[in-house]
Structure 1
Amino acid sequence: MSKKKTTDLQILRNLKKYVDANGFAPSIRELCLLSDIESTSTMSLRLARLEGAGFILKEPVKTRTLRVTELGRKLLERARTA
C-alpha cells in the first residue's frame, strides 16, 4: 500500500476513534497531531480528497462536523481484515 493511502487510512481511523470517544469531530489541528501531519494545509487537502471520494462528510459552514461515512467504515473494515 502506498504511503499516501496508508496516511489516508490513518486519518480515517483517527477521525472515527475521536468521534466515537468524544461524540464530535476533532479540529484540524487535533487531527494533525493524531495523524503525525505537521501542516494544517496538508490535512485540509487530504480531508478534501477523502470527502471527494465519499469516505467522509463535512458540513460546509460549521466546525467539527467531520463524519466517517458508511463507505469509509467499509474501507476501514476491509483494511483491518487485509
Structure 2
Amino acid sequence: RYNQGVEPSGPAIKAIADTLSVSTEYLLGIDEDTSLSQKKKVDILDDETILAFDGMEIEESEKEKLRDYARYIISLREKENK
C-alpha cells in the first residue's frame, strides 16, 4: 500500500523495523546506521535460547559444542579476574 501513497502508521513502521532487525530511525532515513540502538541480549547457556546462524537454526549437538566453548571462555575470564 505504500506504493499507492498510503503512509505506514507508527506501529507498522515499528513492526517492519523489528522484522528487518533495524531501527525505526534507519527506516525513516534519520540514521544511516542499520544497527538497533539497543542490541538484544541473549544467554547462550540458556537451553531455551534458540541459536541460529545465517537464518538457520543450529542443530542441538552443535549448540552443545557452542555452549561448552562459552563455558570454557567464562572459566578463563574468571581465572583472569582472580
TM-score by length of 2: 0.28
Q: Which has the higher contact order (CA 8 A, sep 6+)?
A: 1
Select the structure of larger CA radius of gyration: 2
